[in-house]
Structure 1
Amino acid sequence: MDQLGVVHRKLVAAVGLATTIIIMIVIIMAPPSSATTTHITNKLSSGVLRAHCASRKDDLGNHTLAFDEGFGWSFGETFGTLFWCDLESEGYGLHFDAYDGGNPYRFSERWEVRDDAVHGKQGSSGEELVLGVWLPI
């Protein structure tokens, strides 16, 4: 009876390990969810905005935006997706995370670049988001 108990415990442990490995493979190999879109608009009171946004896998290039101009992009979101933007205007720079899959509560579909910071509204709650600080460059 003792040997049967040992075999049973080893079998349960092996099944648990196999299940964990399968779950990890499914998570890693899962296709991206539906497309997520974000958009940035220049609302600076004066001057042109230069924006460069990227992720680890996608470089969205440099954009020069006059007042009220913007650009946007769509992407297949996966866990850990991060898009950041480096902004520059009239000798000042600002860095912010436009999308952080690890912290979806700091995401807005529409960002406005203003004189004090970057503003957006959190999708599900509508909470005002204010990100970044303009620093001399």
Structure 2
Amino acid sequence: MASTLMKSFLSSIVLFLYLVHMIEAVSFLRKTDVHIYNDLPKNSKSLLLHCASKNDDLGNHTLYPGQEFSWSFRTNIASTTLFFCHFLWGSKQSAFDVFDSNWYFTYDINNYMVKEDGFYFSNDGDDHEKGVRKRSSW
């Protein structure tokens, strides 16, 4: 009797751990990070940005060269989460989506580097400059 009870208990624990693993794999439960890095020249004007989604306005931010702005979130259950940012640097401006849960493949880490010639993207969690590729120009 005790052996059957122990097997049942262990089976329940294994099932519970499996379910936790599967739930974490579901995208709307995974945490996503977006990082915006100001990689503009050291003596240049500050970068102004405003980021928002349908439900969350992250406000206006001023980033000086070398600074970063970041936030974390979970996508909604309907997989319709979309964040966009508007960037201003001197006379240049640009706006684009920085996260869209409908993209074919989404990353848990979304790094954007703002440079003199445009915007660069990587998804490396340890080094935001690793595997960088140009996303768009100003």
**What TM-score, normalized to structure 1?**
0.66
- State the partner residue of 1:33: 29
1:56–1:42 distance in 2 versus 1, CA, 3 Å: same
User: Which deviations, in whole Å up to 9, do the C-alpha atoms of 1:83-108 show, x marking residues without a partner?
Assistant: 11000011110112111111154755
- State the partner residue of 1:18: none
- State the partner residue of 2:55: 57
User: How many residue pairs were aligned?
Assistant: 104
Matched position secondary structure for 1:57: coil
Aligned-pair Cα RMSD in Å: 2.5
- State the partner residue of 1:69: 67
CA contact (8 A) 2:28 2:74 kept: yes
CA shift, 1:72, in A, is: 0.4
Matched position secondary structure for 1:32: helix
CA contact (8 A) 2:36 2:70 kept: yes
User: Which segment drifts farther, 113-122 or 49-58?
Assistant: 113-122
Which of 42, 48, 53 pairs up with 2:38? 42
Unpaired segments ≥5 residues, structure 2: 1-25, 125-129
1:31–1:117 distance in 2 versus 1, CA, 3 Å: closer
* Structure 1 outlier segments of 4+, above 3 Å: 104-108, 126-129
- State the partner residue of 2:103: 103
CA contact (8 A) 1:39 1:109 kept: yes
Which of 112, 126, 131 pairs up with 2:135? 131
Q: State the AA in 2 paired with 1:132.
A: S
CA shift, 1:61, in A, is: 0.2
1:31–1:40 distance in 2 versus 1, CA, 3 Å: closer
CA contact (8 A) 1:106 1:129 kept: no
CA contact (8 A) 2:120 2:136 kept: no
Instruction: Give aligned-pair identity as a percent.
Output: 32
CA contact (8 A) 1:96 1:132 kept: no
Unpaired segments ≥5 residues, structure 1: 1-29
Q: State the AA in 2 paired with 1:72.
A: S
> Radius of gyration: which is bigger?
1
**What TM-score, normalized to structure 2?**
0.65
